[in-house]
Amino acid sequence: MQARNSQPITQHRSRRRTRASWGRLLTVWLGVQASYGADLEDAILSPELWSLDAARVQEQLGPLGFRPVSTQAGADLRLAKPEGRVFGQPPAEILVHFDQGRVRDITIMLHSRGDQGALGEADFRFVVTSVCGRVTHWAGNSGQPRRQETRPGRRYAAGRTWVRGDLRLDLEWAWSKEENGGEFQSEYLKAVLQPYDPSRRAAMLVGDSRLDSTTTKTAMLTLPEMRKRVERRANGDVVIPSVPMVDQGEKGYCAVATIERLLRFYGYQVDQHVLAQLAGSDADRGTDPTALVGAVRRMASQTKLRVVAVRDSEATAEWREENRIVTLLKNLLDLIRDYNRVARREKASEIKQTELFHSGSVTEVYRMMKPDLLRQAKLSDKVGLNRFKSDVQRFIDAGVPLVWGVTVGLVPEKEIEFSRAQIRGRPGQKNERILEGHLRLIVGYNASTGEVLYSDTWGAGHEEKRMSLEDAWVITEGLYAVVPSHVRL
């Protein structure tokens, strides 16, 4: 879940690698394929699926464990950690995406660093080669190689495309390397099955790997067209109900899953695993917000979208006292000053500058504060609260969902899900409050009840939830909008 709003104040970030053991690789490749595995592969690769409507597809795949990712009619289907195999590999997940009631594509995550841990170079190449061989056997041809893509930060992707009858299968694999020829890290291996479009044959033959979009019109929406996406209900809710749901699974990919939802909202079929590679996401520790925003901005030339920092969570400021200087996140420094004013009034201990030299994260600073005084301090910023309210209303009225960076644990929330790292806890600190950075979407508001409507990347049941405006402001760290580059608000 973690979006790493709880980053160290010094902005220093350690890197941690999760490696798949050789034993796990042997389990993957030397296990005997069960009949369930054969049923899974046969079902996924069946040509019949493409002639069925969404309801019939769900009937066909439901017995295998596929579940809708949201409660909306015709929602995409997801199967997490299936027991069977596809092309000889146990997938991390399989996703069936629909468009206008029909299957648009089927994405099979044959390997995912976030879900299964990273593989070394030799092991990863072995997996890729084996899968390519199995796909070649299925398609009856050797396929067309895709040009290797070099992504920012020594990150790479390659692929191959096969055509079998009316279907096209794109296999893409990605990896990263440390600077100066350092450590190799697998990222993902995915197969995307979709109808074959002969008009794209030329691009396929030259290995074109440009970001795909289901439509150009979506990204080129005018402001009046975007406002038509807003639903105004009799109870006073003003909401954008059409944001696609993405389930991040158990990994700490809330940030990249949130951005995937926005890109799909605008018609671009980019998944969280690609974004996780570009942003350097960690399955336990989440995503550095600066890296994520940077990755989205680098994609702007392909997506025709831009990032607007409504409330920037990364801006810094200096706390000068005597001969000491501490650099803090500006929002945090403003909060500390408000907190100290409240603490003096209540005759409580203030946060001292010297305490921050040994503090490792924003959440550790929060733990120094008394919860009731922290809430008072947040709500004492009436200007900030009113600006937050007006910003939410302005962007939602314009049909633009907001990326909302928060610290969960500051206010009670139902059905909150913490990452594995937080659940395990740290030695000697099992009784402390669980506070964690998280990214979610604001999709609406209700001015008459004073509520914010928001959505988490946790699948069905999390499409639309409510929180009071005051509670929402208390947990707010950052607020961002992703809008078409030609639209000005």
Three state DSSP letters for the chain: CECCCCCCCCCCCCCCCCECCHHHHHHHHHCCCCHHHHHHHHHHCCHHHHHCEHHHHHHHHHHHCCEECCCCCCCCEEEECCCCCECCECCCEEEEEEECCEEEEEEEEEEEHHHHCECCHHHHHHHHHHHHHHHHHHHCCCCEEEEEEEECCCEEEEEEEEEECCEEEEEEEEEEECCCCCCEEEEEEEEEEEECCHHHHHHHHCCCCCCCECCHHHHCCCHHHHHCCCEECCCCEEECCCCCCCECCCCCCHHHHHHHHHHHHCCECCCHHHHHHHHCCECCCECCHHHHHHHHHHCHHHHCEEEEEEECCCCEEEEEECCEEEEEEHHHHHHHHHHHHHHHHCCCCCCCHHHHHCCCCHHHHHHHCCHHHHHHHHHHCHHHHHHHHHHHHHHHHCCCCEEEEEEECCCCCCCCCCCHHHHHCCCCCCCCCCCEEEEEEEEEEECCCCEEEEECCECCCCCCEEEEHHHHHHHEEEEEEEEECCCCC
| β-pairing verdict for 476-484 and 465-468 | unpaired
pLDDT at 321 (0 to 100)? 86
Strand-pairing partners, residue 325, are 320
Cβ pair 373, 340 in contact under 8 A: no
pLDDT at 36 (0 to 100)? 45
Per-residue pLDDT tens listing for the chain (489 residues): 444 333 333 333 333 333 344 344 334 333 433 344 568 999 999 999 999 999 999 999 999 999 999 998 889 999 998 988 999 999 999 999 999 999 999 999 999 988 888 899 999 999 999 999 999 999 999 999 988 988 877 889 999 999 999 999 999 999 988 765 568 989 999 999 999 988 776 666 655 554 443 444 455 788 899 999 999 999 999 999 989 999 988 877 888 889 889 888 988 888 887 877 777 766 555 656 666 566 666 665 567 888 888 998 778 888 888 888 888 889 999 999 999 999 999 999 999 988 887 765 788 899 999 999 999 999 999 999 999 999 999 999 999 999 998 999 999 887 665 544 444 333 334 445 678 888 899 999 999 999 999 999 999 999 999 999 999 999 999 899 999 888 888
Name residue, tokens 């398609």.
Answer: 139
Distance CA 368, CA 346 (A): 16
Distance CA 177, CA 179 (A): 7
pLDDT at 447 (0 to 100)? 98
Cβ pair 133, 256 in contact under 8 A: no
pTM: 0.79
Cβ pair 40, 82 in contact under 8 A: yes
pLDDT at 422 (0 to 100)? 44
CATH 3.90.1200.10, applies to 1-13+211-489? no
Distance CA 103, CA 106 (A): 8
Phi-psi region of 154 (alpha: psi -120 to 50; beta: other; left: phi over 0): left
Name the amino acid, one letter, at 443: V
The domain limits of the chain are: 1-13+211-489, 33-208
* Cα separation values, 289 from 34, 138, 285, 416, Å: 42, 41, 12, 21
